[in-house]
Structure 1
Amino acid sequence: MKKIYALSILLAGMLPAFAQTDTTQALGEVVVTGQYAPQPLRSSVYKVRTINAEYIRMRGATDIVGVLNSELGIRFATDNTLGESDTRILGLGGARVKILIDGVPLADRDATKQSLTQIDINTIEKIEIVEGPMSVIYGTDALAGVINIITRKAVKGRDNLSISVRVQEESIADTYSPFSGNGIHNENITINWNNAHWKASAYVTRNNFGGYTDTAAFPAKVFKPKDQWMGGVGLGYRFRQFNAWYRVDYLNEELFAASPMNLNTGLSFRQYYITNRYTHQLQTDWTISPKWKLNTAASLQDYKRNTESYTKNYVTGQQVRNDNPANIAAGYWDITKFQTFFFRAAGVWEASPKISVQPGFDIKYDKTSGQRVSGTPSITDYSFFLSSEIKPVSWVNIRPGVRFSKNAVYDAPPVIPSINTKFRLSKTLDLRASYARGFRAPILRELYFNFFDANHSIQGNPDLKAETSNSYMLSISCNTFSVGGVRITSSLSGFYNDYRDFIDLYGFRDANNNEIFSYFNRDRYRTIGGIFDNTITWRNLTANVGVSYIGYYNKFQEDKSLAGERSRFAWSPEVNANVLYAFPQLKGSVGLYYKFTGKIPVYNLNADDEIVLSERDAFHWADLTLSKDLFKYFRLQAGVRNLFDVTRLNSTQGGSSGAHSGGAVTNYAYGRSYFAGIVFQWNKSTK
């Protein structure tokens, strides 16, 4: 039975999506996030959403944002000045979303998740998303949900050498230059080798984005040029019931920002944001006995971001460094460093077929320094967690859990409880219900970081308290049933999140009447909503179709003198349809990825201290991709992104709502673009 189950895991990872359906329906797609051991998706007590290798490949994306942007309940907002993305799940984003790579949390210097665009898409096998708090297992930040990025692993027990080469070119709106400059340019080479005991891998990737503008004067660009180099190596060993794996990933990224050239003087202010990031991981898993298993994970992350500023004279061609004391004090010339050490150990004890217990502990140490940071602050967090799975009868699974934390800087909640339940009501019907207490620690940037330039006026607040939340989720899943040859899997979910000491950004006036933004604890914030998701398969067609409706809390509701009769929640809908059709005889496939994002509502105070509902326009987004296997080793890919040619979105803003300068228009995207690429894949058995 174990051999059959292992074979199903292998096949599920290797077969394309249209051929994978039968396998996953028979034995269940395997998930690992939050689990005691890999298990079929249907057996998980958590509601886990998976994005498999074929879906990732068909998207033709150059980063993870390009894979997730058509998923229900997930939204992105980009800071065009800093090139960072804010990731939102079920109405919450920033530091409330936990990003993991192979189960290890990734360090981000800010509440936004720049790490999502700093992971090589070519190394990813699968993405798993768990919605709702996972604080008991993963600690701080896991309030809104967890995105676990799972990298490719060697095939167990097979001697094999593989080489993959990818080259992809993409236009930006109506601009394009081959391999550099205007457009997006992606090249990757990956090598994997493994035998019965050892496995090794190495990769190098270049991502180049030439930037784009359709309004700004030369040489400024609304979407900033960015150049990335990524590389990494890994080495693994397995012997009997013991596995160990080490990998190190390196990123060098340069983002270029410039002000418009002054036509009278010929001068332009230019800034370079240069990031160097090392991520080390060492993981082990050991089956000590049939009843005991032990997993450990250690990570050291070193993140350094340089800010270099110059004045360019386009008349003389000279470029002068802006590194005098006044400019250094203003942050125009700066090196900011972030270091994170993380260690986790978790054991699993199968006390009986009906009871399993998972004890564990983790340690996290964060440190930062830089011109914009007050001193050299650090935060250390110690946690112990305990959970269990109780199966009193075959159709019931109850998973209670608790986490105890001690933090060196802030008063962490002493106890974080959760309980997740799953009831198999019939052969095709499952019910999941959960309650979780969540918490989020203030991050170093919110506590100590000061950032002042032409677009930002942000000041840290060292007196912040940790956020806490009470979250409830209920879902019912109807597993595959057939109607006239059409197979359908449906899921209906509802959630409610209630947050205390919610950390938010507020503006105030200093002694010189300058508007400055800082972080403060707000008494309360809430989100509520539902998701209806369906997977439909018919012959060679697979479609995911769904709708979500999410309510955002009116933060002035607690002050009745201000809120008056205004609604407690402002609502925003989403609709998506991701369709993949395969042509087996042609060895090709076509994919259409569509999402409608409704108006994004926020209650704000305007200049007259009146509450107004600010909204950003609704919009439609769609991507079309084509894939064709050619000869034995090659695959061609092409497609169109942003079919509806989305560029700017109008916003009704009744008052200041953020730390960035802006107006009534948001530069969301650069319009319709086209891409084409080729992938070379060579495999050889070395035995």
Structure 2
Amino acid sequence: MRHFFLLICCFHLLQLPVFAQGENGKIYGTVLTADGKPAISATASLKSTRYGTTIDAEGNYSIEAPEGRYTLVIQSLGLETKIVPVRVKAGEIAHIPATTLNESTRQLADVVVTGQYQPQSISQSVYQIRTIDRERILLRGATNLIGVLNNELGIRFSNDATLGTSDIQLMGMSGRNVKILLDGVPMVDRGDTRESLNQIDINTIERVEIVEGPMSVSYGTDALAGIINIITKKPGNDRFSVSGRVQEETVGREYQAFDGKGSHNQNLAVTWQKNGWNASLGGTRNEFGGWQGKSVTRTQEWHAKDQLLGNVKMGYRNDNVNIWYRLDAVDETIKALGAVNTNTDQARDQNYISTRFTHQMQGDWRVGEQLQLNSILSYTDYSRRTQTTNIDFTTGKRTLSLGQGEQDVSGFDSRIFRTTIQYKVSAMVSLQPGVDINVERASGARILGSPTISDYALFISSEIKPTSAVTIRPGLRFIKNSVYDAPPVIPSLNTKITLHKNTDLRLAYARGFRSPALRELYFNFFDASHSITGNPNLKAEYSNSFNGSITWRSVTTSTLRITSTLTGFYNDFHNLISYGVDPGNPGVMRTINVDRFKTTGGTFNNTLYTKNLQLTLGFSHVGRYNSLTQSDNSLPEFVWSPEINSNLTYHLQKIDTKVSLFYKYTGKRPSYETQTGTDGKTTTRLAETAAYHWADLTISKSITKYVTLNTGAKNLLNVTRLNNTSTDVGGAHSTGGAVPLSYGRSYFLGLNFQWGK
């Protein structure tokens, strides 16, 4: 298999076309804003070529290109786009008259890549996709992805205070059904939680794409609930650039400058490109000092965490070929301090040490107008180590603990090869066949043996446009799994219908399939608060999912744009993998198959853009299946939870300052549970996790051309824990007791630096 991968890569490299270079000419011009100032944020480029530049401090630009006729595109986010035909003559300078860019609310169309044949605008995609762009990430002052996603409708996070990790839920489904991608490459996790979300350098992210609903045909297992695809930055127009970030933040009322208590974040990155070649190097340190909370001992309610993240990228691109290699590395240590034993004057501390190396090589080759190839080759090496020590405060000595399972390492590695072909048969029909190979392996003291799972898939989809108003995308995936008898074929069908020039209807059906992961089959986990065993006899999950949406652009003028989107979904799962009591050992939980699970609900999103204001307002209502309905028909089939969110950003242009308010209301989370009384009778009761409000206020101010100041307050309403009426306090994953949410209100101050030439 290794030699096969190398042959594929060499094949792509050998196809790089060679272009003859003749004598060049130059294009010179000036770009101004409506008030006569240099449009320093604008770019000037020759359409469908790699020739372009940014506007300098005086508003000037100069582009060198071979002789020929071109279309010059001058644009800037929030300003009008100007298109100028131009002819370049060898050895001559073409002077373009001064260009003025007026302000406009017609934002540059969001371009998405997840699940697409080729990059295209959201309005053209058959999928309902949400995007979070780089500007919103910066305005949030976030230091990790959770700080960005926690304001999104239908997304919730649960925190494990013991392990210091977090998990995501999407539209009522747990993280094991949500596929996390980094530039299209799946992230590997140790357990059934998506802790990898906290191990991605947010400073490298260009945007985040969220696709709700099963994407099993295109992306295979783990994509039953949907996909979160993190897209990293690509080379811009600068020949050389340097960026940096420093941010200091309190943790509740706890803070020490630059080290210790509080949250401390530093980042530095450099990029270079010339003649199609590009390279970048970056590093980030995130230090979280933990949070004492209500603890009166040396233990902390939120564990301290220290992260080092690094990335290296290099590649080559021209009009027809783009090939690149990227390495992402993470070294993370979570420090769990123990309470002091008053009899021995000793304490037991644990460090959870994670290391992750993700290698990926990707290539795009545009063979012609009708044919394009894309290939991904990746290798991920991930390990999680538990280091337990005893400290004697009398002598000050620290020694390793020799207790069972207190010194162990669990290792996981993943090899992925994926290649797709996009072939345009005609203006009405396009085809996308592909091959997807995934090999996962695990080892360690907590792993039963050294298991390996191989998954081989062939998928094919087609985009059919019988009319200009209708797009139909059917798809099939054929699977061969080394552990399970996968279904012979998984189908999907997505349709987009343009009802009016400003109204789009999307309807979809998909069959979901997920084979149990290594962590669910063979992973055993025992500590002070967890008692979990894997189950090699698990069955594979499958689902039938239906969703639809209608998007209405009610106002689209040069000064105002209003868009509304109404969505609905219904998912019916069989053999869903969850946790249950081990019949042979009631004190231990194990992975089991739940016979049935369902989710249903909908969302209503609205966006408004004006000259200086961006406003969103959304509502969702999600229902989760109540499994006790099967034994008690008097109970409701679904338990419901509402959400409301709103984001507001106002641009004070005279002082070049943006003020943003991010708000979300998360409704109470109901569930039914059984309990046995002293008389031996079993009764059913309603338990609820309390509702809460979350709000962040941030200010972003441009200090100089290269430096931006960010400041603000997060968790304005000072939410820390949620009341929970559940009485389930047994087992490994108990739901009883207060639910940890945050460490309270915090304040931050940061500087962002960006210089390019």
Classify the TM-score, shorter chain.
over 0.9
Deviation (angstroms), 1:411: 2.2
Q: Does 1:552 align with 2:552?
A: no
Report 1:477-556 matches (<5 A): 477-481=551-555, 486-508=560-582, 510=584, 515-556=587-628
Cα offset, 1:538, TM superposition:
2.5
CA contact (8 A) 1:490 1:532 kept: yes
Q: Indicate whether 1:654 and 2:723 are aligned.
A: no
Distance 1:28 1:535 in 2: 14
Q: 166-175 vs 239-248, which deviates more? A: 239-248
Give the secondary-structure state (helix, strand or coil) at the position aligned to 1:122.
helix
CA gap of 1:368–1:14, structure 2 versus 1, over 3 A, is farther
Q: Structure 1, residues 498-535: CA drift from partner, whole Å, max 9, x if none?
A: 00001111124645xx5111111111100000100010
Bigger mean CA offset, 110-119 vs 388-397: 110-119
Q: Name 1:33's counterpart in structure 2.
A: 114
- Is residue 515–residue 539 contact of structure 2 (8 Å, CA) maintained in 1? yes
SS state at 1:364 partner: strand
- Write the mapping of 1:146-225 to structure 2, written as runs, cut at 5 A: 146-155=227-236, 158=237, 160-225=239-304
Measured against aligned partners, the alpha-carbon deviations of 1:642-670 in whole angstroms (never above 9, x if no partner) come to 00000111101133586245642122111
SS in 1 for 2:328: strand
Residues 22 and 372 of structure 1: is their aligned pair in 2 closer, same or farther, counting only changes over 3 Å? farther
The amino acid across from 2:737 in the alignment is: A
Aligned CA distance change for structure 1 residues 25 and 485 (closer, same or farther; 3 Å) = closer
CA distance in 2, matches of 1:38, 1:549: 31
Contact 2:269 2:283 in 1 (8 A): yes
Q: CA deviation at 1:165?
A: 1.1
Distance change >3 Å, CA 18–CA 50, structure 1 → 2: farther
Look up the match of 2:348.
269
Residue 523 of structure 2 is matched in structure 1 by 449
Query: d(CA) in 2 for partners of 1:407 and 1:139?
Result: 11
Residues 334/607 of structure 1: CA separation in 2 closer, same or farther (3 Å cut): farther
Task: Please name the residue that 2:740 is paired with.
Answer: 667
Aligned to 1:575: 644
Counting only pairs closer than 5 Å after superposition, residues 59-74 of structure 1 correspond to structure 2 as 59-74=140-155
Q: 2:74 & 2:205 partners in 1: Cα distance? A: 12
CA contact (8 A) 1:372 1:449 kept: yes
Q: Which amino acid aligns with 1:571?
A: W
Within the alignment, does 1:319 sit opposite 2:398 as a pair? yes
Distance 1:492 1:658 in 2: 40
Rounded Cα–Cα distance in structure 2 between residues aligned with 1:483 and 1:164: 36
Is contact 2:238-2:756 (8 Å) kept? Answer: no
Aligned to 1:625: 698
2:635 counterpart residue number = 566
- TM-aligned CA deviation for residue 265 of structure 1: 2.3
Partner Cα distance (2:627, 2:729) in 1? 14
Residue 168 of structure 2 is aligned with which of 67, 84, 87?
Answer: 87
Shift of 1:23: 7.5
> Alignment partner for residue 389 of structure 2, among 310, 321, 326?
310
CA distance in 1, matches of 2:213, 2:705: 44
Contact 1:252 1:276 in 2 (8 A): yes
Distance 1:332 1:291 in 2: 58
Match of 1:635 in 2: 708
Seen in structure 2, the aligned counterparts of structure 1 residues 102 and 542 have a Cα distance that, compared at 3 Å, is: same
8 Å CA contact retained: 1:604, 1:657: no
Superposed displacement of residue 376, structure 1 = 0.5
> 8 Å contact 1:130–1:146 — kept in the other structure?
yes
**Quick check: 1:243 aligned with 2:243?**
no
Corresponding residue to 2:543 among 463, 469, 478: 469
Structure 1: stretches of 5+ with no match in the other structure:
none
Determine the structure 1 residue equivalent to 2:28: none
Question: What is the root-mean-square deviation in Å for CA atoms of aligned residues?
Answer: 2.3
1:555 CA displacement:
1.3
3-state SS in 2 of match to 1:136? helix
Deviation of 1:83 (Å): 2.1
User: Helix, strand or coil for the counterpart of 1:606?
Assistant: strand
Change (3 A) 1:197 1:485: closer
Q: Per-residue CA shift, 1:172-202, capped at 9, x if unaligned?
A: 1111001111100000001111123101000
Amino acid at match of 1:331: G
SS of aligned partner of 2:519? helix
Counterpart residue number, 2:34: none
Rounded Cα–Cα distance in structure 2 between residues aligned with 1:515 and 1:307: 23
Structure 1 position 19, deviation (Å): 8.6
Deviations 1:178-231 (A, max 9, x none): 111110000000111112310100001000000012222422111000000000
1:113 alignment partner in structure 2? 194
Report how far residue 17 of structure 1 moved.
6.7
Question: AA paired with 1:533?
Answer: N
Q: What's the counterpart of residue 588 of structure 1?
A: 657
Q: Distance in 2 between matches of 1:61 and 1:347?
A: 37
Aligned position for 1:347: 421
| Distance in 2, Cα, partners of 1:24 & 1:190 | 32
Secondary structure of the residue aligned to 1:212 is coil
- CA 1:550/1:173 → structure 2, altered by over 3 Å: closer, same or farther? same
1:493 touches 1:530 (CA, 8 Å); kept in 2? yes
Structure 1 658/123 Cα, relative in aligned 2: closer, same or farther at 3 Å? Answer: farther
- The one-letter code of the counterpart of 2:594 is R
The residue identity in structure 2 corresponding to 1:539 is K
Q: Which amino acid aligns with 1:145?
A: G
**Aligned with residue 674 of structure 2, among 605, 623, 632:** 605
1:680 paired to 2:753:
yes
Which letter does structure 2 place at the counterpart of 1:679? N
Whose Rg is larger? 2
Question: Are 2:458 and 1:384 aligned?
Answer: yes
Once residues 591 and 104 of structure 2 are traced to their aligned partners in structure 1, the CA distance between those partners, rounded to angstroms, is 49
Measure, in 1, the Cα distance between the counterparts of 2:78 and 2:409: 45
Q: After the TM superposition, which of the residue ranges 256-265 and 60-69 deviates more from structure 2?
A: 256-265
Q: Report the CA distance between 1:578 and its aligned residue.
A: 0.7
Between stretches 9-18 and 383-392, larger displacement belongs to 9-18
In the TM superposition, what whole-angstrom CA distance separates every residue of 1:293-314 from its partner, at most 9, and x where no partner exists?
Answer: 1000011000011111111222
- In 2, Cα distance between the equivalents of 1:636 and 1:57? 10
Asked whether the 8 Å contact 1:236–1:245 carries over to 2, the reply is yes
What is the aligned partner in structure 2 of residue 101 from structure 1? 182
Provide, for residues 304-328 of structure 1, a one-character-per-residue CA deviation record: whole Å limited to 9, x for no partner.
11111111222221222113xxx2x
Q: Which amino acid aligns with 1:220?
A: T
Question: 2:77·2:107 contact (CA, 8 Å) conserved in 1?
Answer: no
**What CA distance in whole angstroms lies between the structure 2 residues aligned with 1:416 and 1:17?**
43
The one of the two structures with greater contact order (alpha-carbon pairs below 8 A, sep at least 6) is 1
Between the aligned partners of 2:640 and 2:721, the Cα distance in structure 1 is 22
Tell me, yes or no, if the aligned pair for 2:78 and 2:104 is still in contact at 8 Å: no
1:439-475: CA deviations, max 9, x gaps?
1121111100111110100011000111100000011
- The alpha-carbon deviation at position 351 of structure 1 amounts to 0.3
Q: Runs ≥4 in structure 1, deviation > 6 angstroms? A: 9-14, 17-24
Matched residues in 2 for 1:242 and 1:286: separation? 5
* Alpha carbons 2:325, 2:360 under 8 Å: kept: yes
Other structure's SS at 1:177 match: coil
Cα pair distance change 1:633/1:615, threshold 3 Å:
same
Report Cα offsets for 1:586-617 as digits up to 9, x if no partner.
11101111000001122222244433222110
Q: Which of 189, 204, 219 does residue 123 from structure 1 map onto?
A: 204
Partner in structure 1 of residue 445 of structure 2: 371
SS of match in other structure, 1:401 = strand
- Residue 412 of structure 1 aligns to which amino acid in structure 2? A
Query: What are the within-5 Å matches in structure 2 for residues 285-296 of structure 1?
Result: 285-296=364-375
The answer on whether the counterparts of 1:367 and 1:378 sit within 8 Å (CA) in structure 2 is yes
Residue 294 of structure 2 aligns with an amino acid whose one-letter code is T
AA in 2 matched with 1:506: G
Q: Number of residues paired by the alignment?
A: 670
Shift of 1:258: 2.3
Structure 2 stretches lacking a partner, 5+ long: 1-44, 55-72, 82-101
Deviation at 1:259, TM superposition (A): 2.4
**Amino acid paired to 1:44:** S
Partner secondary structure for residue 115 of structure 1 = helix
Q: Provide closer, same or farther for how the CA distance between residues 662 and 396 of structure 1 changes in structure 2, counting only shifts above 3 A.
A: closer
Deviation at 1:269, TM superposition (A): 1.3
Quick one: structure 1 residues 18 and 589, their matched pair in 2 at CA, closer, same or farther if it must change by over 3 Å?
A: farther
Shift of 1:243: 1.1
What residue identity is the alignment partner of 1:588?
T
